[in-house]
Every structure is written in C-alpha cells, then in structure tokens.
Amino acid sequence: MEKVIRNQEELLQLLDQLLEEEKPINWNAFYSNRERKVPFFVNLPDENLVSYFQNNQLTPGKVLELGCGHGRNAIYLAENGCEVDAVDASTEALEWAKEEAAKRQVQVNFIEKNLFELSLSNNTYDLVYDSGCFHHIAPHRRMSYIELVKGAMKSGGTFALTCFIENGELGGSSLSDLEVYQKRSLQGGLGFSEEKLCAIFQQDFEPMEIKKMKSVDSSSGMFGVSGLWAARFRIRSS
C-alpha cells in the first residue's frame, strides 16, 4: 500500500526522505579524522561567544548547545562558570569532546541525540547556543527548531547562533526554500542574508545583534573566520 500521510510528523519525515542527498554528510566519518583541514577543527571558542562574556552581554548560567561538535564552545562555557548540556548526533564528535573536556578538567553533560528527538524541560536555559548547526536544518524543520529553542529558554534568556553567510567563503548555498525541494538538496549547507535571518525568527524572537564574525588569528585564543554570521536574539515579548 502506498504511504498515507496521517499526521504532521509523518509529513516531516516524508520531506526528510525527499531531501536525502546522493552524498549526505556522514558526521561520524567527518569527525573521525581529527587532522582534517577544517577551519573549526581547533580547540578554541567562537570569538563572538567570548565577546559576549567579556562585554557582560552574557553571564554564567545554564546553557544548551545544539550541534556541539567536538565541544570547543561547550568547554569554554563550562570553564567560565556555566552549567552546560551539549548535544550532537555524532558519536565520533562527542568522543573527541569528552576527551578534551577531561584534559581541561571541566564538566559538560554531553548528549548524543538528534536534536529533534530531544526531551527537554521547558524554561530551563539562560542561553541556547548554536555554532554551525542551523544552516544544516532543512526549511521544513525550522518550525520544530524554533519551538525547541523557544521552549528551552528561560524568560529573559538569550538565543545565539553562527551560520553561513549566503555565498560566503566557507560555503552557504543561495538556494531559496523552494529551490531546496526542487533540487532535493541543501548543497552542503544553506546561506542566509541578514534579512532572511530576521524573517525566519521574527515571529518569535527579537534580534539584539546580527553581525559578521570577526576573522581572528588562533594566537588570540579564539576561533573567528569571515563567512559566518554571529547573531543574538531574545524571545519577543507578547
């Protein structure tokens, strides 16, 4: 019998299947080679995240990191007094993260999970942080992503992310949402303009700052490359 869509989740799963690319990113294979020439394969925090703490735009609290990779931001947050839950679907990435956290003698609660399968307590986190996960989220999953972020945050909390600039030097496909489904591909990760970011989040979040990440040398103790947006939002008051 032909598949019959009976509910919203089955519709989302059908669209997931539609976008199964010929060569999807295998994140376990990606993280298995730690010598891979990837800009963010460094044990340094994002320059924008550091600046938020240095400028007192953020203070230590409870943090949820989505798509934590090998833990470079989660570890920085823990070292700066935060209680951190860090989520990633890649076993290899989290093994690397746990090793680094042990070396640095910090405690991070690493969670191996697809973020859309997370079960979280509502209104729990002072900060929800995403460094490079959002641009791999398909358009039909954005509403679920926003509901996850909004539900997790405390009143007065902050949502911050870095993501590809459209046609930036690190990538950032300029496909429209319609073209994603016509071509059945995210082309390695979607790029965004400032206007598109605002349009995606405007119903639920108020932008506090959207700027380009600063390019910094690793000797600064931070990770910073051009080609990424660094944005902060707060929940829009009703």
Tell me the domain boundaries of the chain: 63-87+103-216+225-238
| Torsion, CA 184, CA 186, CA 190, CA 195, rounded to 10 | 10
What's the pLDDT score for residue 17? 86
Tens of pLDDT, residue by residue over 171-228, are 999 999 999 999 999 999 999 999 999 999 999 999 999 999 999 999 999 999 999 9
Give percent of the chain with pLDDT exceeding 70. 97
Can you identify the CATH homologous superfamily of domain 63-87+103-216+225-238? Vaccinia Virus protein VP39 (3.40.50.150)
What's the pLDDT score for residue 2? 64
Plot region of 57 (φ>0 → left; ψ -120 to 50 → alpha; else → beta): alpha
pLDDT at 235 over 60: yes
- Residue 121 or 109, more confident: 109
Burial 56-79 (b: 16+ CB within 10 A, else e): eebeebebbbbbbbbbbbbbbbbe
What's the pLDDT score for residue 33? 92
pTM, rounded to two decimals: 0.94
How many whole angstroms separate alpha carbon 52 and alpha carbon 234? 14
Cβ count near 191 (within 10 Å): 23
Tens of pLDDT, residue by residue over 113-145, are 999 999 998 999 999 999 999 999 999 999 999
